[in-house]
Chains A and B, each alone.
Chain A
Amino acid sequence: MVRVDGSGGSNSLINVRGLGKTYSRGGEQIHVLQALNLDVEQGEFVAFMGPSGSGKTTLLNLLGGLDVPSAGSITVAGDEVTSMSRSKLTQWRARHVGFVFQMYNLIPVLTAFQNVELPLLLTNLSKAQRRQHVETALAVVGLSDRVHHFPRQLSGGQEQRVTIARAIVSDPTFLLCDEPTGDLDRKSADEIMELLLRLVKEYNKTVLMVTHDPLVAARADVTLHLEKGVLVEAGRQQTVTSGGAR
């Protein structure tokens, strides 16, 4: 169950304690996140909302090991991320985190297959094993018939599906989605949300998502608002409160 008061147990997948992030800008200290606590369990789907500049993306970057906090700690599946060196953090990201960006960020000169294969090139899997993993991931996102297409030959929704396939191909511990539907029309956005929900329900994936769209956020188990650098629980879906865990 998602908690923001620091009362979660150590058996949570993600434990964030006293997290702070401060930027210096023109000699001024900007406290983006302040003593933030968060506990997320395996298989939960959490949406973060908040006004621009409230620190949503900063929080996601910290959770994904892309940035280092000014204070506090983040522990994921028992590993304290905040104490890792830069190179350790890179290895940790490869094993544990799947990223989905708003602008897809696919490599335009690689096919869908090659884009999805990228994280697997860092593993010891054989070529045949990599092929099998990539085909499975593309099948999960419904793009088995677009394997050899380049990004420019795909629609926005399809590109985002490839990004999701790339994020799940190495079976990471959790997915971080930064405005995954921000660049899509409503229909495509709905399809992407259906896909993310399916990953949570059918594959027990943990998804942490930043969004500006209340309709999108409403699809998640829990919506948390970032206000003045701290998280406030804004809404828990019916299934969550009644189901306990979700």
Chain B
Amino acid sequence: MPVQVKGEVLDIRRVGSYQVLSLTAPGISDIARPGHFVTLGIGGEESSMLLRRAFAIHQVQSRGVYGGTLDVVIGVHGKGTRWLSERRRHDVIDIVGPLGRPFILPRERVACVLVGGGYGSAPMFMLAEQLRERGCRVDVVVGAATEERLFGVLELKRLASTLTITTDDGSLGERGRVTDVLPELMDRVDAALVYACGPMGMLQAVADMATARRIYSQCAVEEAMACGIGVCMTCVIPVVGEDGVTRMLRSCVEGPVFRGDRVRWSDVGTIPPDTLGAPVEGGH
């Protein structure tokens, strides 16, 4: 169950194009699982920016001198993330979490491929650790436009059996996209599960590749949210249920992790005409 707490900034450090923000998070870090996210209040109590910003939980420490702490990775995209990137040690930030449905871990010791696009690699660290604890083989692929936009390459190298890096401009690793190297890797390690986090286009490509090979995929989406707790209905995407019916599901509470073969990736941003309750001819 999520809680709302005041977190104190312990550290903020630059990593490539990103900032890693470490916060005390009593009551959150000890129950957080890979794929969970938190939302952070922006701009302090009198802020004119009312909407919380959502971040995948990157790392947690449930014990230690500060009680529970957690790390999130911030990419500066606008005013809210810029404000966060300017926080300093001892500043206080309102945190709600852990939120969402986390990644599902396999019972058996199977080979897993983890794919991160840009700072979409952030939640893969905890995931890789826990998969390895279960005896799973873990291979990681990370990709970004440039070397600067990759996140956590050195650390991932330590966690994974193999790490494959791609950049659009070839500044690090292979020139190209993660999907250029993924099929060969999935086949080589006989992957049973693919986990992915990154931009929608990448998730779609990864999910399609996995599904074509009858490999189960779990994709963590990054969709614009206002509340993060399931009440505002802004973060919906079209997802096919077990009954074959498409519904607009909330990424915050029914995701952010979805089965790759269930999301209608090409229809994200639309209401497919066969969605439950879709507008009929003549309008609402």
Chains A and B belong together in one complex: no
